[in-house]
């Protein structure tokens, strides 16, 4: 649902402060620690991300029996992401509420090595309610060193993309990541852990759609291949955890391709660090082989937990192209506020995330400034993130960072 700006013509620089006021109130509540007051202790416990998160840790679990002959786990899974945004730019503005993601499905673990996963997706603002399957795959884990996955699945180019939307700390992923046109698509992938190395590789179709039968049987839109590695640096750096991430992408798309159709080749390198309640991600990404120009971007993401519940997140992006129109602004928010294609892009994000039940239920708010080609856009947002079902962080270490709320996969 989009709101016509003429309905609230005097809203400029007023409504964007609502997310900050909301989070400031949450921060004050979460920070209160009465030394002698049992009421304050009860309030603090009730507000604790651990208090509710531990109780919802198995939200969606229908069955678990590691010793069962054939069915070890059965889950219902789903997520709801709703958000309200205010975008104001030098060439336009946009304001509205959006159901960003609504997904539902199930997952079963059979015979201790076989996993079946299916997840339907709704359209934007739940229109239509059923818009096909975002994921439908089967995985056989031969051993820790190798698991084979067949079916519609996520394309994990860049660390930024690899982090599930259930765990990202921002309104949207980075601009250059989104330019690659990554989506869920039929694929055959291998992943596993060998010593300090977690690897992931596969071959993907360059088309997906509402009709799953056609998606799995018609491969006339091109193909792509991907290779990715996480390397655990151990104690090489004076941090709690340190990982390097490398990804390479090659895409052979044609005019019928619906994803992975912008760059022919992509490269990314990321350093992921955690120390106590802080984290830092620094990632560089390169895209080449497009007639409109090649592109390079640097994405820096620091974060700190101010309390057990409240996290401060920052992000700085800078990107450049060798052509005048080589960069495309974010489809959501920036384009709708009048930003055009350009050569150099910069943006800065400031956000506060309040964890009601760890990552299962959280409120997020943020303000982002972006500039390209002399045009700028301010975007303020308030977001609700909720999911149930098993954690599925895959081979990225971000989920293992702070309070141990993480992954059992």
Residue 284 C-alpha from the chain's centroid: 17
Q: pLDDT (tens digit, 9 = 90+) per residue, 316-372? A: 999 999 999 999 999 989 998 989 999 999 999 999 999 999 889 999 999 999 999
- Quote the pLDDT of residue 7: 32
The answer to whether residue 381 sits within a structural domain is no
How many CB atoms sit inside 10 A of residue 153's CB? 21
Please state the domain count of the chain. Answer: 1
The residue segments making up the domain with residue 292 are: 60-78+99-353+390-400
- Quote the pLDDT of residue 119: 94
Collect all residues with Cβ–Cβ distance below 8 Å to 7 and sequence separation of at least 6.
none
**Locus of tokens 């920052």:** 314
Mean pLDDT by 10 residues, the chain (409 residues): 37 45 52 50 55 84 95 96 94 90 96 95 89 92 91 92 91 95 91 92 83 64 92 92 95 84 96 92 97 96 92 97 96 90 98 92 96 94 95 53 32
The CATH number given to whatever domain includes residue 176 is 2.40.160.10
The answer to whether residue 49 sits within a structural domain is no
The answer to whether residue 172 sits within a structural domain is yes
- Quote the pLDDT of residue 342: 96
Exposed, middle or buried: residue 51 (CB in 10 Å: 0-12, 13-18, 19+)? middle
The answer to whether residue 11 sits within a structural domain is no
The answer to whether residue 366 sits within a structural domain is no
Collect all residues with Cβ–Cβ distance below 8 Å to 352 and sequence separation of at least 6.
20, 23, 26, 27, 310, 311, 312, 313, 364, 365, 366
Q: pLDDT (tens digit, 9 = 90+) per residue, 258-313? A: 888 899 999 999 999 999 889 999 999 999 999 999 999 999 999 999 998 999 99
Return d(Cα 135, Cα 103) in angstroms, integer.
Answer: 10
The answer to whether residue 283 sits within a structural domain is yes
- Quote the pLDDT of residue 9: 35
Q: What is the pTM of this model?
A: 0.84
The answer to whether residue 50 sits within a structural domain is no
- Quote the pLDDT of residue 1: 42
Helix axes 38-47, 17-31, angle to 10 degrees: 130
The answer to whether residue 54 sits within a structural domain is no
Residue 140 C-alpha from the chain's centroid: 25
């Amino acid at each position: 649902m989009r709101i016509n700006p003429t309905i609230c013509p005097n809203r400029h620089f007023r409504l964007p402060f609502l997310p900050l006021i909301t989070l400031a109130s949450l921060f004050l509540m979460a920070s209160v620690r009465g030394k002698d007051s049992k009421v304050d202790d009860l309030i603090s416990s009730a507000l604790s991300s651990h208090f509710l998160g531990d109780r919802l840790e198995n939200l969606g679990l229908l069955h678990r029996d590691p010793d069962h002959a054939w069915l070890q786990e059965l889950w219902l899974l789903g997520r709801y992401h709703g958000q309200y945004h205010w975008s104001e730019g030098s060439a336009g503005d946009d304001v509205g509420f959006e159901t960003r993601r609504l997904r539902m499905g199930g997952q079963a673990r059979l015979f201790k090595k076989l996993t079946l996963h299916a997840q339907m997706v709704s359209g934007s603002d739940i229109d239509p309610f059923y818009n096909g399957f975002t994921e439908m795959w089967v995985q056989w884990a031969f051993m820790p060193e190798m698991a084979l996955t067949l079916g519609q699945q996520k394309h994990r180019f860049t660390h930024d993309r690899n982090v599930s939307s259930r765990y990202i700390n921002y309104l949207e992923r980075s601009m250059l990541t989104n330019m690659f046109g990554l989506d869920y698509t039929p694929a055959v992938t291998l992943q596993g852990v060998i010593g300090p190395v977690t690897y992931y590789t596969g071959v993907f179709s360059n088309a997906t759609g509402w009709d799953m039968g056609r998606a799995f049987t018609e491969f006339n839109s091109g193909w792509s291949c991907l290779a990715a590695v996480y390397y655990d640096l151990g104690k090489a750096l004076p941090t709690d955890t340190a990982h390097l991430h490398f990804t390479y992408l090659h895409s052979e798309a044609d005019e019928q391709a619906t994803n992975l159709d912008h760059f022919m080749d992509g490269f990314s390198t990321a350093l992921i660090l955690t120390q106590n309640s802080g984290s830092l991600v620094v990632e560089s990404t390169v895209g080449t082989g497009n007639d409109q120009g090649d592109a390079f971007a640097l994405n820096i993401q620091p974060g700190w937990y101010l309390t057990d519940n409240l996290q401060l997140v920052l992000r700085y992006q800078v990107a450049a192209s060798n052509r005048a129109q080589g960069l495309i602004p974010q489809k959501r928010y920036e384009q709708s506020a009048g930003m055009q294609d350009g050569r150099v892009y910069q943006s800065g994000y400031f956000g506060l995330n309040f964890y009601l039940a760890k990552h299962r239920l959280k409120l997020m708010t943020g303000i982002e400034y972006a500039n390209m080609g002399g045009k700028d856009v301010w975007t303020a947002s308030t977001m609700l993130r909720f999911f149930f079902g098993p954690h599925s962080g895959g081979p990225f270490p971000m989920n293992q960072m702070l309070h141990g709320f993480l992954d059992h996969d």
